[in-house]
Structure 1
Amino acid sequence: MLVKMWIADGFISGDDSSSCTSMEETARGYLNDLLARSLLQPVQDGDKTYYVVHEQIHSMIRSVSASYFRMIQPNYCAAAKIPHTVRHLSVTTGCVARLKKLSLLKRLRTFILLRDPDPSAVVTAIDEDLLKELEGVRVLDFTGTDIEHVPSEIGNLIHLRCLALPQTVQAFPEEFSKLFHLQTLIRSESKYDQTDEVHYHTGLDVAFTLNARNRTSLRQLKRMNSLRGSLIITGLSLVASKEDAQKAQLNSKKSVRVLTLEWEAKQFATESFLEYMWEAMASQARRPTSATDLEVLEGLQPYTGLQMLHIKGYRGISSPSWLLNNCLSQLTHLHITNCRNWNDLPRFGDLPLLNHLEITDLESVTEIDGCGPFKSLETLVLSDMTSLEEWWTAARATDSGGLFTALKKIEIFNCPILKLPPPFPPTLELLRICNCPELRDKVRKRYRGVPQPILDVDFLMW
């Protein structure tokens, strides 16, 4: 987010021919410089990394930049005097009302609404008069609010380059198409459902979820061929045909690196739940589920340069041709989850760059074709596959037989009848097996004498 803001505010130097990608690389270089000088310090919280500034450094920075940057918090809301030279303003939602009386909004380049610790100060709607004042803003961040709609006045912010919205937003106005300079639209989860007349912009860098609740939703993606980053499409159980799926033209999204295809729609507002269920039942009555789901997945063929693919809740029994033919030559991560009818998996071994393979809750699979070199695979996870009997290869052997030259980690959970597992190569560093009684004695016998620093066999999980 910081990198996007730097670019939008013009802090990253570059001529008109500079691409956003190269500018991002430059900005990340600046970020690394700040880290190297300890002006920023990384803090790990679970799987997320945050960056903090030391209190004394922060105090100094706020002091020397007070005439240009300003942050208004509840304790200072009443007494704060904001100079007219301020161009970048962060304010808690409880102090928004005070801003309406100020003329400095017209001069702002960055406006960020932070969530107020007082629950009564939650903002559920943006004041239209306030939005009209922000005529020169380039960065607009409303993620600290609970707004459901974006006012039509958003179309007047012709200089806007970076827009961050909360997951509560349900719809955009048609005026959104006037934001010709918009580069980045950030949304953690999207529920928007709009008309086909909305136009998108060639430089848009989007991280959001599109809910495919009707044909129009997928058609909206047609013109978004310069999407970068991650794209999540949910609700695919309601897509009626391969033709409807092809309208998204995913194979033209050359800069999308992470793609998630999910058949079951995510959370809806309570008032729309019955509507969704009615649509779902009607959709199922119209067509044979597994056959049409395969056609839909076939029509969602991604660009060959895709790096990470997640398939969730797919109800077909077969693999799409673009996965069988290994068209995804740049794929590094593949996650297949909760596809309980899928019993004919593709041959994964020929994906040259595949680094992480995770197959979870595919209860119809009895065997996996493990042929192929698996030259880059480092992590393999098989979980909750109650019918899986073997990892099949052309010539079974006690060793890796030339397979898995890079494999370091194998996790096998809840595969109770698995008798022939993937080969365990010499490169293996971590082996975890749980609730696989057929494998228990075989693996214990083979690795009981192996020193723990060389191979961590997690027998405690049996």
Structure 2
Amino acid sequence: MAENLVKHSGGSRSRGMEELGNEYFDDLVSFSFFQPKTTHWNTSYFIMHDLVIDLDRAVSGKYSCLLEHNEDIDKFEKKIRHLGCVMELLYHNDEKSSFNFEATHLRTFLSLGEVDQRVPIPLEVLHNFLLKLKGLRVLSFRYSHMLELPDSIGKLKYLHYLDLSYTNIVKLPESITVLYNLQTLKLEKCFELQTLPEGMHHLISLRHLIIRGAGLVEMPSQMSKLTKLQILTTFVVGKESGAKIEELAELADLRGELSIEKLENVVNITRASNQASVLYKKQLEKFSLECTKFPNWVGNDSFSNIVQVKLDECQRCSNLPPLGQLASLKHLDISGFNSVVLDYCVPHGISMEPHNSCQVVMVGAEFYGNSKEPFSSLETLIFSYMSSWEEWESKDSAKYRNLKTLKIRLCPKLIGNLPPFLPSLTEIKIDAHWQGALTIPRLPCWTCCPKLTYLEIMDCFKMKWLPVRMASLLSLKYLSIYGCPLIETLPEGGLPICLSTLKISYHELLRINWNWQTLPHLKHVEIEGDKEDLESFPEERLLPTTITSLGIVRFSKLKCLSKNGLTQLTSLQTLEIRSCPELDTLSEEGFPTSLSSLNIIDCPLLEKKYYCSSKISHIPDVTFD
């Protein structure tokens, strides 16, 4: 787009330059011109194969180059079109005002930063540099140490793409607003940048405004005139002189992600709420808000394509928006409401007063909104870090018929009922993180979760009993209990006969009578030791003899495996030993003959002693990691 290589066909408006450009790029990927890669942080990027790079250099010849060292720029011909280099190579250190750059026909310039990040690029150098590059289409100073941009930026009348991300720039010159061909402006992580130019609305060709993580106080007024905007990552609501939230109504083509900040600056909330078109953005996929109180229109049903919502660290908010109205919402994560009391049955006209000097967040019918079947598409629901939440009583029509995963973490006061009808629920995770509720939230009847296959209960320090009638969970395959020291018995009727995987701590293993004979399908057991002083494990007749897989995890003082305890496990096929730093003896003669796989992870003494050792060579599959 920036090089004007993507031509709009002039057909349907739904097929814009972005879509065409994506198709071109996908075609190049399919031809292996670009190859996808993933980092350790699961972020994706693309590379070019070395052979393709060689081909590119052969074809582009003298029209593009990359300067990272002390090449003499004067030797490069004036016909260079595309250049990436370290800025310091473009001027003499002893004569910063004397600019010797002669490649005046550049179309692309990418700054690779500076060698000395302590000294910002001199403004005069930038000024002279830009005056010589009036034909630029692409200009990037990303990661450069610069405090301001010279007025001469306004001379680049053909500029389509400008990237100032990760710079220390404090303000943008007003002259930037005459760049009538500018399509993309990136200001990501410009923490020092507090305002945009007043004349931003003159950038009539602007399609992408990336200001995620900038330090903006407010947006300038008349942003509504930027009607070609496709991507606007952040909209900061202004006060008297700044942009009003109603201006979003005119930006009909916004897509991707949008974060609205400083909603508390909305003075006339009634006027904003009545304008449903403010957020009538069919192509929005990710939406976030920063405010002290959610306006009524946040859950408007015009958000028809929103599939994921996360509300995080809204500690000053006193209500939740009517998210139940979002018909396509699949994933909802609510975190950091540290004063929340979820109470859906407060009588009309009764208000709850703050307690313990904290403002209480009340969640009533407004959470569900006016939908006949709220949360009809919701699949994942996560509540975390809600220290005052005490009760959850669901609206009758909120059946959560598609909810598959429910996670509740660090909600220590929650003792009420879960919603009464969860027909699709397959996974529940409860983690009190040692703050501990007296019990986990109650289900009126376990039969309301006929598909529940996974139940995890962690660090409920004050919990005294497991849920009643667990035996009725006929689909439950996986049960994990850890950090619940007050639990001493199984519920009446025991555990589901279908249980196949059990993960528990050593404390739970010893304290509870598990009645192994009632669990004929139990095949996989994992025992976590944490800070136990135990030096030998497992004890004789401690584990069920029918299991095929055993995990021994985080026994910090464990020194050897018990020969007698292992010998009795006559069906054992897989043994995994993980994070046992002092374990140095396997008692390999005690391994059952059925053992076919031994996995040793993060056990340095074992790896040192047994790696390539003949003592365990009879085991077909041995791995160390």
TM-score range, shorter chain: 0.7 to 0.9
With structure 1 as the length reference, what TM-score do the two structures score? 0.76
Aligned position for 1:162: 161
The structure 1 residue matched to 2:296, chosen from 321, 332, 345, is 321
Q: Which amino acid in the other structure matches residue 385 of structure 1? A: M
Aligned position for 1:181: 181
Out of 65, 75, 79, the position equivalent to 1:70 is: 65
Counterpart amino acid of residue 286 in structure 2: M
Q: 2: distance between equivalents of 1:361 and 1:11? A: 46
Secondary structure of the 2:89 match is helix
More displaced stretch, 124-133 vs 188-197: 188-197
Could you tell me which amino acid in structure 1 is paired with residue 154 of structure 2? G
Alignment gaps of 5+ in structure 1: 1-6, 265-288
Q: Rate the CA distance shift 1:183–1:389 in 2: closer, same or farther, 3 A.
A: same
Distance 1:42 1:212, change over 3 A: closer
Contact 2:299-2:324 within 8 A present in 1 as well: no
Going from structure 1 to structure 2, the CA distance change for 1:441 and 1:303 (only over 3 Å counts) comes to closer
Go from structure 1 to structure 2 and tell me whether the alpha carbon gap of 1:119 and 1:22 turns closer, same or farther (over 3 Å shift): same
Match of 2:146 in 1: 147
**1:208: Cα distance to partner?**
0.9
Question: CA contact under 8 A between 2:62 and 2:80: conserved in structure 1?
Answer: yes
The answer for the alignment partner of 2:110 in structure 1 is 112
Change in 2 beyond 3 A, CA 1:180/1:338: same
Q: What are the within-5 Å matches in structure 2 for residues 59-98 of structure 1?
A: 59-74=54-69, 77-78=71-72, 81-97=75-91
The match for 2:325 is 350
Tell me which moved more, 148-157 or 87-96.
Answer: 87-96
Cα pair 2:194 2:217 within 8 Å, conserved: no
Alpha-carbon offset, residue 69 of structure 1: 1.9
Aligned position for 1:208: 211
- Count the aligned residue pairs: 415
| Aligned mates of 2:274, 2:141 — CA distance in 1 | 35
Residue 356 of structure 1 deviates from its aligned partner by 2.2
Query: Percent identity of the aligned residues?
Result: 24
The residue number in structure 2 matching 1:415 is 411
Residue 432 of structure 1 is matched in structure 2 by: 429
Matched, 1:392 2:388: no
Shift of 1:295: 7.3
Instruction: Say which SS state the counterpart of residue 390 (structure 1) adopts.
Output: coil
Q: 1:25 to 1:355 in 2, by over 3 A?
A: same
The offset of 1:108, in angstroms, is 1.0
Q: Secondary structure at the match of 1:66?
A: helix
Query: How far has the Cα of 1:27 moved from its partner?
Result: 1.9
CA-atom RMSD in angstroms: 3.8
Contact 1:430 1:456 in 2 (8 A): no
Task: Write the deviation string for residues 167-194 of structure 1: whole angstroms up to 9, x where unpaired.
Answer: 4222121211211111111121352425
Which of the pair has the greater relative contact order for Cα pairs under 8 Å at 6+ separation? 1
| Counterpart in the other structure of 2:31 | 37
Q: CA, structure 1 residues 303+97, in 2 after alignment: closer, same or farther (shift >3 Å)?
A: same
- Show structure 2 runs of 5+ residues with no match: 93-97, 343-362, 443-454, 456-465, 485-625
TM-score of the aligned structures, taking structure 2 as reference length: 0.58
- For 1:421, the aligned partner's letter is L
Who is 2:233 aligned against? Answer: 231
Query: 1:290 and 1:62 mapped to 2: Cα distance?
Result: 53
The residue number in structure 1 matching 2:305 is 330
Per the TM alignment, residue 457 of structure 1 is displaced from its structure 2 partner at its CA by: 6.2
User: SS of the residue aligned with 2:383?
Assistant: strand
Secondary structure of the 1:432 match is strand
Distance (whole Å) between structure 2 residues aligned to residue 439 and residue 294 of structure 1: 41
Match for residue 250 of structure 2 among 246, 249, 252: 252
C-alpha distance after superposition, 1:20-74 (max 9, x if no partner): 9622222222222232233322221214211122334323422332222211111
Counterparts of 2:244 and 2:21, CA distance in 1? 36
SS state at 2:121 partner:
coil
- What is the rounded CA distance, in whole Å, between the counterparts of 1:455 and 1:256 in structure 2? 44
Task: Name the amino acid aligned to 2:43.
Answer: K
Q: Do 2:387 and 2:410's aligned partners in 1 also have CA atoms closer than 8 Å? A: yes
CA distance in 2, matches of 1:461, 1:297: 48
Report the alpha carbon displacement of residue 364 of structure 1 after superposing the two structures with TM: 3.5
Residues 222/34 of structure 1: CA separation in 2 closer, same or farther (3 Å cut): closer
Q: Specify the SS of the correspondent of 2:211.
A: strand
8 Å Cα contact 1:221/1:248 also seen in 2: no
Q: What do residues 63-99 of structure 1 show as CA deviations (whole Å, max 9, x unaligned)?
A: 332222211111x524884233321111122312279
1:198-248 deviation line (CA, Å, top 9, x unaligned): 54323311111575636xx342524333322233245x6xx557x966366
